[in-house]
Structure 1
Amino acid sequence: METDGTVEALPIKEPPENDSVTFESAVKIILQWDSTAVRGVMLFDDGDGNEIDQYLEAVDEIQRSMELMAISESHDDDRRKGKGAIQIAMARLEAEFVNILTCPTNPIYSTSSSSSFTDSPNSYYEEDYLDYNPPSEEAINHLRSIVERMDSVGHLRNCVQVYRNVRKALINVRFRCLGIEELSTDNVRKLETEALEAKLKRWIRVAKVCAQVLFPNEKQLYAQIFHGLGIAIEDVYFMETVKDPAIQLLNFAEAMSTCRRSIERMFIILKLHQTLSDLLPDLEVLFQSKSSEAIRIQAAEIFLRLSAAAKEILWKFENAVLGELSTIPVPGGTIHSLTAYVMKYIIRISVYKQTLVELLESKTSMDFRYSDDLKIPDMKFMELGEQTRLALHLIRILVTLQFKLEEKSKQYEDTALSHLFMMNNVHYIVQKIEGCPELKKMIGGDYLKQLTGIFRQAAISYQRSTLASVLNCLRDEGMSYTTTSWSSAERERLKSFNALFKKVHETQAAWSVPDLQLREELRISISLKLILGYRTFLGRCSDAILNRYVKYTADDLETAVLDFFERNPISQHSRNRSDFRTD
């Protein structure tokens, strides 16, 4: 029966003879949309809402009539006519279903040609997917309406299969366009660190897109379309849709977790571990069903292997510092490459503080003492306050570095240069800690004070070693106060001073203090000690001695000290200095 353009549902009973008009009109609507004139036209593609409703109601009417006819022995012709119309309608609805699925509102999901589509991996970015607009509510309603009609005639499983095939193809296309390579464990093992970091950077972006956008949207879309229709295997179909990209993503992480655990790959491992840690809750929700537990279990196992790898590499790093065996002293007492490497490593470790704190607090964490290594000074942990195991481990590495630096300082024949080397390197360590708030917080004030004390003592020892012999020439201890003996002593002291300062000048100019502020502070300190003593001594000398034996003025000394720590041979400077007196 038809009222106001809508078809009312009929009660399930033998239809009256005059109701066959409604059935006939429904069949006619189905056949009209199967005619040659509209064969290539999509009903749901920007179609008239009334026409869509009319078509769906026609399908409903035919199906209701067919159910009534099934309990009647008459209407054989109508049953054949209705069956044919239903077959035509199902083919039409399946085509409409596929069309809607492949042409949602966002072109990023479309396989159709458009200006935004390209096979270049660099054209797709995480932001494109995070801004993804899901199919409109109208599109979802249309898909749901089609599914309900196909379900009513027993075509639901076919519909789900079509859905799976279409969506799987679309997901695979999008995944390929994101530019993830399929790498084996051997491929990963052979990659240089720089190349591996580049691939990891892309993997992280793609993994976030898949776990937080593509896969959840796909699961949600499936639920919106098929929920409540009694499909007990819905998670199986979702799993089949996203299985290939999910497995390929995990294969890269799997290869990383099983490849060699070298020190250079520490931060790649940590970055991957941190990313997987962030994504595991999403993966737990996405793959919570029995059919997809393999993905969930594999991700969890990879995460555990990455945890073990990170801890193992951390221990390897400390052992590598302890085992560093270079015996050639660095020129000029500058920063040793070991010091720079260790501090760079430790600062980078502090970026992953939270991850490593959690790893090291586990029951399988390390014992910080080396019972068979008696050379390294034992750490007084009880005096360092309440530190995390990560902080204690970093301090342990610094103690090991300090021990190695002390060993290397003994490679210098010049005691002053040995102290300068320790001063430079410990100062570098302190400055790096001070410049990294996170690391400074972890290390704590107590150990930082110890390091600062070591630096200051090295600076004092250096100045004493450098200036002691020079300043001794300027003291009046042991000098006789008779005129003849005083003049003779003055002459000998000045000759010794001139010779010793010339040597100090040449030596110190070739040495190095890389830190500009420290360099300036040392020069000022040396100048003050040197010039004060020199002026006092000259004030006691006779004019005859001053006129004949004084080689340097106080200003000359101050200028000469400016050459200190420049790592240049003094001859290059002395050629340009006309104000230094000669014998």
Structure 2
Amino acid sequence: MEAPTPPSPTELDAAERIILLWDSTASEEARERMIFEGHRDEVDRYLQAVDEIQRSMSSASLVSDDDQAKLNSAIQIAMARLEDEFRNILLNHTSPIEPDSLTSADPSSSTHSSAADSTSEFEDFSPEDDSGLTTPKASSASVGDADELLQRGDSSNTCSYRSTSSIRELDLIPSDAVVDLRNIAERMIAAGYLRACIQVYGGVRKSAVDSSFRRLKIEKLSIGDVQRLQWEQLEAKIRRWIRAAKACVRIVFASEKKLCEQIFNGIGTAIDDACFMETVKEPAIQLFNFAEAISISRRSPEKLFKILDLHDALMDLMPDIESVFESKSSESIRIQAVEILSRLAEAARGILSEFENAVLREPSKVPVPGGTIHPLTRYVMNYISLISDYKQTLNELIVSKPSTGSRYSGDPSTPDMEFAELEGKTPLALHLIWIIVILQFNLDGKSKHYKDASIAHLFMMNNVHYIVQKIKGSPELREMIGDDYLRKLTGKFRQAATSYQRATWVSVLYCLRDEGLHVSGSFSSGVSKSALRERFKSFNAMFEEVHRTQATWLIPDSQLREELRISISEKLIPAYRSFLGRFRSHIESGRHPENYIKYSVEDLETAVLDFFEGYSVSQHLRRRSQVAKSTSLNTSALFVPSAAPLKLHYGASAISASVEVSPDGVRTILPQKLTNRFSCKGTMISNEYHAHHSFCVTGKIPITGKMLRIHSIRY
């Protein structure tokens, strides 16, 4: 290829005059005006003059020393001018990215269940000491302009796994300005001013990137700064970072790379990459330093879900990071992202292991009142329910089985778990089952702090039942735990219910046996009245104590509470009715029968309804029985025809209510002056009037649907 023809002396002189005309160091007019803001003819003439000077310099053998000196001076003046023009064009056409553009970085994603929506019950649990279980709080919403910018973007718990590129490149500078910048860059680089060109470009564009970072509320925090922040502060920053990182990589960095390619591609070897890294290296390091600080921070259970959110967000971004930072010069950014991803994965695995140990060692020894659900149970089950929401991520991260005890280990401080019984389960599923195993082991230890065996069994029943209900309530968790293990858990809480009944009611029902009451071998007349009186007194005392105590115990689940009451009634009521039927006459024929037969069958039926409500019974059984006897109603044999009014009289006062039976059930027309609480379940109806005094009518609709039977009246 032939060398370019050098300009003639006349052309060279003309070119030199044009260069000197725009020497800003020699002319006020040159300082105040910009060539590329004027007429295009002036731009073309100036660029042509620069080209002629450069062609002359490339033919140095044909130029005298004096002319060479003049050319060097002219090119220096020209490069200084072009540098100013380059900077001015960049500044004039650099503006913040529009907010709407920053919200479109995540066009499609799949969403986890929100931790904030699922952690309300975590608030109940506060460990007594540093057991490693710290309550995850529902984080407050992000604040500030960034959230307004990003409110249409990604939520705090979103991720798309292995997504394809979601890059959205914007035209940061108009095309005509890009042409001018490229023309200037070509001449500066050809003259050996590459470094100056890159520095000017990087300085201006880095300021633009910083402006986008400020809009996205990305703070300049060192790793040390991040690690010194409280976790509650970091949670909000993590949510913001996840959204902002997607906008930075997919829009801000990608658009900067495109602009570098438009201006510098093809001018020299990897110059576009050099300019790109000059612009974004520091901001990229600033961005990823935050995630790195989280990945190496102190581990604790409440951090798991935000760490998984970070991991998912970064995993989602990896294809885009590899695309944007594909060059050799940007390899360090890719490596940093990969290393952070690995450390986040390791942190998640470590936190899960530490959580298991913390559940096993949680040391609280004060029994929860009433044998209700322990805060630890609520905490752990809500925690693993959230874990199941991250099943896809954790199935990839958790690849080893938990470190468990064995029935052959002989270690009393660790429960047993045999993997042979759980063949086919994923490592994650085994970890979740192991957490449930160690939770039960811990709860069993806590149950031993109750002095009464009955409430210890009730406590275990409540807690294992809660575990079962939480598993059933989460399809993802149920799938991982499996129905076989769920049936095993169901059997455990039912066994605890059976153990409770044995511990409580065997001794009570023992009072209602016939043994020891008959004398002289005569069944009809040989009943020892003294033994019978003692038997009734023992029953009354034991039942009163059970009633007084267990009314304060609590079964939070209404269905479980009702099932246990029914089970108690099915054993207690027939036994008492039979015993009363056989021996009532022997007591009533003697003196003061009311001291021994204190309760009717209906009294016991009603008393059972007080059990497991969690509060003291304000009106004693004896008082209730006496009031029932003082009424003018025979509560055991009252039938009310359909739609017939019912009047209840108590002493000198009267309170009226109309009770109607319809095909749909019972409708009660209530007194206007009283406040009513009305509830109906199945065929049972309960109306309770609240005034200065209160009474309750409990009724049942017979199969015919035409009669209403009043079982009891409470005053």
Bucket of the pairwise TM-score, normalised by the shorter protein: 0.7 to 0.9
Give 1:460 shift.
1.9
Q: Tell me the distance in 1 between the aligned counterparts of 2:370 and 2:561.
A: 13
Q: Tell me the distance in 1 between the aligned counterparts of 2:344 and 2:415.
A: 32
Over residues 538-575 of structure 1, what are the superposed CA-to-partner deviations in whole Å (9 max), with x where a residue is unaligned?
Answer: 333445746634322333223322221223233x3439
Stretch deviating more after TM superposition (557-566 or 286-295): 286-295
Question: In 2, are the aligned partners of 1:97 and 1:143 still within 8 Å (CA)?
Answer: yes
Give TM-score scaled by structure 1 length. Answer: 0.79
Alpha carbons of 1:451 and 1:313: their partners in 2 closer, same or farther (altered >3 Å)? same
Q: Tell me the distance in 2 between the aligned counterparts of 1:339 and 1:562.
A: 27
Alpha carbons of 1:467 and 1:220: their partners in 2 closer, same or farther (altered >3 Å)? same
Which amino acid is the alignment partner of residue 574 of structure 1?
H
Which amino acid is the alignment partner of residue 101 of structure 1?
L
Alpha carbons of 1:366 and 1:398: their partners in 2 closer, same or farther (altered >3 Å)? closer
- Match runs of 1:158-307 below 5 Å: 158-177=196-215, 178-185=217-224, 187-307=225-345
Give 1:428 shift.
1.2
Give 1:495 shift.
2.6
- Specify the alignment match of 2:599 in structure 1: 552
Stretch deviating more after TM superposition (94-103 or 315-324): 94-103
Which amino acid is the alignment partner of residue 497 of structure 2?
A
Which amino acid is the alignment partner of residue 411 of structure 2?
L
Give 1:256 shift.
3.0
- Specify the alignment match of 2:582 in structure 1: 540
- Specify the alignment match of 1:566 in structure 2: 613
Alpha carbons of 1:91 and 1:578: their partners in 2 closer, same or farther (altered >3 Å)? same
Give TM-score scaled by structure 2 length. Answer: 0.66
Question: In 1, are the aligned partners of 2:367 and 2:450 still within 8 Å (CA)?
Answer: yes
- Specify the alignment match of 1:468 in structure 2: 506
Q: Tell me the distance in 2 between the aligned counterparts of 1:260 and 1:96.
A: 51
- Match runs of 1:33-432 below 5 Å: 51-52=39-40, 54-59=41-46, 61-62=48-49, 94-104=83-93, 107-108=96-97, 122-125=144-147, 127=150, 133-135=170-172, 136-148=174-186, 150=188, 157-177=195-215, 178-185=217-224, 187-361=225-399, 367-369=403-405, 372=409, 374-375=411-412, 376-432=414-470
Question: In 2, are the aligned partners of 1:336 and 1:425 still within 8 Å (CA)?
Answer: yes
Alpha carbons of 1:352 and 1:502: their partners in 2 closer, same or farther (altered >3 Å)? same
Does residue 1:524 correspond to 2:566, yes or no? yes
Give 1:504 shift.
0.9
Question: In 2, are the aligned partners of 1:164 and 1:241 still within 8 Å (CA)?
Answer: yes
What is the DSSP-based 3-state SS (H/G/I as helix, E as strand, rest coil) of the residue aligned with 2:316? helix
Which amino acid is the alignment partner of residue 426 of structure 1?
V
Q: Tell me the distance in 2 between the aligned counterparts of 1:356 and 1:301.
A: 18
Q: Tell me the distance in 1 between the aligned counterparts of 2:306 and 2:261.
A: 37
Question: In 2, are the aligned partners of 1:487 and 1:542 still within 8 Å (CA)?
Answer: no
Alpha carbons of 1:423 and 1:139: their partners in 2 closer, same or farther (altered >3 Å)? farther
Q: Tell me the distance in 1 between the aligned counterparts of 2:260 and 2:489.
A: 61
What is the DSSP-based 3-state SS (H/G/I as helix, E as strand, rest coil) of the residue aligned with 2:546? helix
- Report the structure, 1 or 2, having the larger strand content: 2
What is the DSSP-based 3-state SS (H/G/I as helix, E as strand, rest coil) of the residue aligned with 2:507? helix
Q: Tell me the distance in 1 between the aligned counterparts of 2:544 and 2:55.
A: 119
Does residue 1:495 correspond to 2:525, yes or no? no
Over residues 154-176 of structure 1, what are the superposed CA-to-partner deviations in whole Å (9 max), with x where a residue is unaligned?
Answer: 65553333111111222234334
Alpha carbons of 1:516 and 1:189: their partners in 2 closer, same or farther (altered >3 Å)? farther
Gaps of 5+ in 1: 1-10, 111-119
- Specify the alignment match of 2:489 in structure 1: 451
- Specify the alignment match of 1:117 in structure 2: none
Alpha carbons of 1:383 and 1:14: their partners in 2 closer, same or farther (altered >3 Å)? closer
Question: In 1, are the aligned partners of 2:53 and 2:74 still within 8 Å (CA)?
Answer: no
- Specify the alignment match of 2:712 in structure 1: none
Q: Tell me the distance in 1 between the aligned counterparts of 2:418 and 2:526.
A: 61
Q: Tell me the distance in 1 between the aligned counterparts of 2:214 and 2:575.
A: 77
- Report the structure, 1 or 2, having the larger helix content: 1
Percent identity between the two aligned chains: 52
Gaps of 5+ in 2: 100-141, 154-167, 630-715
Q: Tell me the distance in 1 between the aligned counterparts of 2:91 and 2:619.
A: 78
Alpha carbons of 1:459 and 1:40: their partners in 2 closer, same or farther (altered >3 Å)? farther
Question: In 2, are the aligned partners of 1:235 and 1:291 still within 8 Å (CA)?
Answer: yes
Question: In 2, are the aligned partners of 1:180 and 1:202 still within 8 Å (CA)?
Answer: no
Give 1:455 shift.
0.8
Stretch deviating more after TM superposition (247-256 or 365-374): 365-374
Which amino acid is the alignment partner of residue 134 of structure 1?
D
Question: In 2, are the aligned partners of 1:129 and 1:213 still within 8 Å (CA)?
Answer: no
Question: In 2, are the aligned partners of 1:122 and 1:179 still within 8 Å (CA)?
Answer: no
Q: Tell me the distance in 2 between the aligned counterparts of 1:295 and 1:12.
A: 42
Over residues 222-249 of structure 1, what are the superposed CA-to-partner deviations in whole Å (9 max), with x where a residue is unaligned?
Answer: 1122111114343233222222222223
Give 1:453 shift.
0.7
Which amino acid is the alignment partner of residue 219 of structure 2?
I
What is the DSSP-based 3-state SS (H/G/I as helix, E as strand, rest coil) of the residue aligned with 1:428? helix
Give 1:343 shift.
1.9
Alpha carbons of 1:413 and 1:215: their partners in 2 closer, same or farther (altered >3 Å)? same
Alpha carbons of 1:128 and 1:43: their partners in 2 closer, same or farther (altered >3 Å)? farther
Give 1:89 shift.
7.3
Does residue 1:512 correspond to 2:550, yes or no? no
Q: Tell me the distance in 1 between the aligned counterparts of 2:6 and 2:68.
A: 14
Question: In 1, are the aligned partners of 2:170 and 2:251 still within 8 Å (CA)?
Answer: no
Over residues 206-231 of structure 1, what are the superposed CA-to-partner deviations in whole Å (9 max), with x where a residue is unaligned?
Answer: 33332222222211211122111114
Over residues 501-547 of structure 1, what are the superposed CA-to-partner deviations in whole Å (9 max), with x where a residue is unaligned?
Answer: 11110110121212233223322332343333333333334457466
Question: In 2, are the aligned partners of 1:172 and 1:244 still within 8 Å (CA)?
Answer: no
Question: In 2, are the aligned partners of 1:129 and 1:214 still within 8 Å (CA)?
Answer: no
